[in-house]
Structure 1
Amino acid sequence: MTAVGNRELWCPLASSVHPMRAAIESDSMAWLDGHAVMPEDRRTEFRSGAPAALGSHTYPRGTRAGTQLASDFITWLFAFDDLYCDANRIGSDPVEFSAVIGELIEVLEDPGRANSPELPVARALRDLDGRVAAMCSPVQRRRWADDTEKYLLAKLWEAGRRRAGSLPPLASYVHLRRLGGANVACLMLTDISLGCEVPAEVMCSPPMTALVKAAADLADLDNDLLSFARESGPGEEFPINGVTAAALHGARDTAAAVDCVLRFRDSRMRTLLELSARFAQSQDGPAADFSRGVCDWVGGHIDWIMKSGRYSQLPLGSGDWSLPR
């Protein structure tokens, strides 16, 4: 249980870190630098948030190569978000942003043909796609690519909502946030990192689909809760955040909006625990391993987010948002 002022982030899941964390984190930053994705004048600030450490927290049981691949993808996601979505005006302009999104989707749909000149962020994504394809089956690669494309298209939705200064009610927001958080795409690397493959009929079954959605929602809403104070500070743009959605649709004040998000978030944790316990008892080895990896992912994400320094521990509503572990 993680304290959030007079509230709590409930997480009964254990967390661990990959034994090769230091090497994986170093190699992810070197990989990103090798593709010149992050401009030199922003590298120090980018590194300070420990983006390359998240992979080792969320894929602690993965093979060295599998966790490295996942870590590189997560580091790419952070760089893309920082460069194009949050800290750059293009993320507020759906028209201009669509050109970048289109180039990245083209990489995933036609990886053998590179544009000239090519954005560094596109060149790095092409490298990731090739490595995913080399490490897994065509079905696994397609799952990851499809969910990465959904992520990119959902970022356009975010840009439109930011421009309009509006969000739908919380339940609808969570659906779109799930796509725009890239967490489903990250979770599609779980069995790849473990060196196994969940059969298509199991991965597409309602229980497994619900498990993945619950895990993604937990990461998104925890992120929202811990980043809202920073995102809603003076001089910041309209925050794409669950607290914002709740505040716009019925919550009487910020504290009530936070409580609304916490209740929704805790219901997703109960769903995750119920479904993961069911898979743990199954005779399907890859499904049980995947389910265990999903729980690793959720527990590791909370552990990382509390330690990374990426999210400001600022007052939110009437509570003291200091977060001891």
Structure 2
Amino acid sequence: MPVPAPPPAQSRPPSAPGPGPLTHGRGAGSVPGTGGGGLPGPPSLPFSAPAAAPVSVPAPVSVTVDEPGVGPAVNPVPQGAAAVRTAPSPVLERILRGPSGLGTAGLYMTRHEEPPAPAQPAAAGNPVPGLYHHPVAEPDPVRVEEVGRRIKAWAVDEVELFPPDWEDQFDGFSLGRYMVACHPDAPTVDHLMIATRLMAAENALDDVYCEDHGGSPVGLGGRLLLAHTALDPLHTTTEYQPEWAASLHADAPRRAYRSAMQYFVQEAGHAQADRYRHDMARLHLGYLAEAAWAETDHVPEVWEYLAMRQFNNFRPCPTITDTVGGYELPADVHALPAMQRVIALAGNATTIVNDLYSYTKELASPGRHLNLPVVIAEREDCSVRDAYLKAVEVHNDLMRAFEAEAADLAVSCPAPNVLRFLRGVAVWVDGNHYWHRTNTYRYSLPDFW
């Protein structure tokens, strides 16, 4: 049953309810495409940006260097110590660079929307000391501006996502910079908007249903279920269908979910759309687990918290990298256990990045917010500083596991679309870190070093 069209547009009264500022603290954390040429072959992974030189995938061999920030992987440490860089694997670099030879030129993308942007100065923001990550090139400012303009128009004019007094906080979320950094191979701005709308909708629901802008653990399951029907339509009788259809316009999260999903399914294949619905169900399950702990004032064991974060995490975002890139990874390939492990590890690592960068922000907000440093401190009876530093190491272990598993899969299944998808997931991981590091409007680091 198709999702119904919205009712006639109405002016929004000044007191109209809407979600608070996008928090991105507990959740995942997105116009139909207009073409875009052939599929690009995957350059080396991790990948920074289309115009940048490929960066090699690190192998699990560390060497000491004198200057932090040099090379494909950066692991800055407190002052007085050397940074750790991981040496690249020539074999893996060759595999992930992509196909070559006769007949493969059409797999490489050339963008035609706008001329190359001039070089930009590095964005503000310091990385978490000791955090294993890969630097990326600054996102294309032309695309950043256009995506930012379009998502603001969608949020205000199409779905009434937030009231006017929260406009500065919506702007401070920097959705355009976020999504351009995470999807530099998107053929068009229309493709970028697929991810951007979904990201905005996911975070609006998190704010309104789960967080401090009207959210509560009480009754969360019912709210999530009804919102999920905006993604996975209700198939019911003729008598009750109109009531369900009307409910999709009842609040900002449902309006946003419904609209973003309509745009998404116009570009995505059927399997891609169902994949996204499944990952959003995972996300909502994670929300419910955290809500249950909040209602019972339960601090989980560290492993329990990490289990929750495997569901309440960014997974829906990198898993649509092929749709945003204008191609499709076959459903049977996406479902391979090895591919599922790669995607899960990527989601887990990027979510711990959020725990680390949003740590001080969450401490300053009302109530107790569960994040990995808080759980480690309580369950392992250590100082908040030691718990935070251990959380950094947990992230680093997850990142290295993600890269190792991606490398193994690239070797065992070197098909061009598989390599491109793995590259896209790695790009998303790096872009997610870039956004957290540079969003000084939202985040600041604790004084632990």
User: Could you tell me which amino acid in structure 2 is paired with residue 79 of structure 1?
Assistant: A
Partner of 1:81: 206
Partner of 1:11: 133
Residues 262-290 of structure 1: per-residue CA shift (max 9 Å, x gap)? 12111111112213333445431111111
Aligned sequence identity (%): 20
When residues 140 and 39 of structure 1 are mapped into structure 2, their CA distance, relative to the original with a 3 A threshold, is: same
Q: Could you tell me how far apart the structure 2 residues matched to 1:43 and 1:162 are? A: 29
Structure 2 gap segments, 5+ residues each: 1-73, 80-128, 236-243
TM alignment of 1:236-251, pairs within 5 A: 236-251=366-381
Which piece of structure 1 moves more, 265-274 or 74-83?
74-83
When residues 240 and 69 of structure 1 are mapped into structure 2, their CA distance, relative to the original with a 3 A threshold, is: same
Partner of 1:254: 384
Partner of 1:71: 196
User: Could you tell me which amino acid in structure 1 is paired with residue 218 of structure 2?
Assistant: P
Instruction: Name the SS for the 2:160 alignment partner.
Output: coil
CA contact (8 A) 1:13 1:295 kept: no
Q: Where does structure 1 differ by over 6 angstroms across 4 or more consecutive aligned residues? A: none
Q: Could you tell me how far apart the structure 2 residues matched to 1:106 and 1:124 are? A: 12
Larger radius of gyration: 2
- 1:90 maps onto 2:215 in alignment: yes
Q: Could you tell me how far apart the structure 1 residues matched to 2:138 and 2:425 are? A: 13
Partner of 1:323: none
CA contact (8 A) 2:350 2:429 kept: yes
TM-score, structure 2 as length reference: 0.65
- 1:160 maps onto 2:160 in alignment: no
Partner of 2:323: 192
Match of 2:355 among 216, 224, 227: 224
Instruction: Name the SS for the 1:94 alignment partner.
Output: coil
CA contact (8 A) 1:101 1:152 kept: yes
Match of 1:179 among 272, 294, 311: 311
Q: Could you tell me how far apart the structure 2 residues matched to 1:52 and 1:162 are? A: 33
**How many aligned residue pairs are there?**
314
CA contact (8 A) 1:58 1:298 kept: yes
The structure carrying a bigger helix percent of its residues is: 1
Match of 1:294 among 409, 418, 425: 425
CA contact (8 A) 2:204 2:252 kept: no
Instruction: Name the SS for the 1:145 alignment partner.
Output: helix
CA contact (8 A) 2:208 2:253 kept: no
CA contact (8 A) 2:187 2:326 kept: yes
Match of 1:61 among 170, 185, 188: 185
User: Could you tell me which amino acid in structure 2 is paired with residue 63 of structure 1?
Assistant: P
User: Could you tell me which amino acid in structure 2 is paired with residue 126 of structure 1?
Assistant: R
The Cα of 1:249 is off from its aligned counterpart by 1.3
- 1:108 maps onto 2:108 in alignment: no
- 1:20 maps onto 2:143 in alignment: yes
TM-score, structure 1 as length reference: 0.88
Q: Could you tell me how far apart the structure 2 residues matched to 1:300 and 1:217 are? A: 15
Q: Could you tell me how far apart the structure 2 residues matched to 1:300 and 1:3 are? A: 18
Structure 1 gap segments, 5+ residues each: 321-325
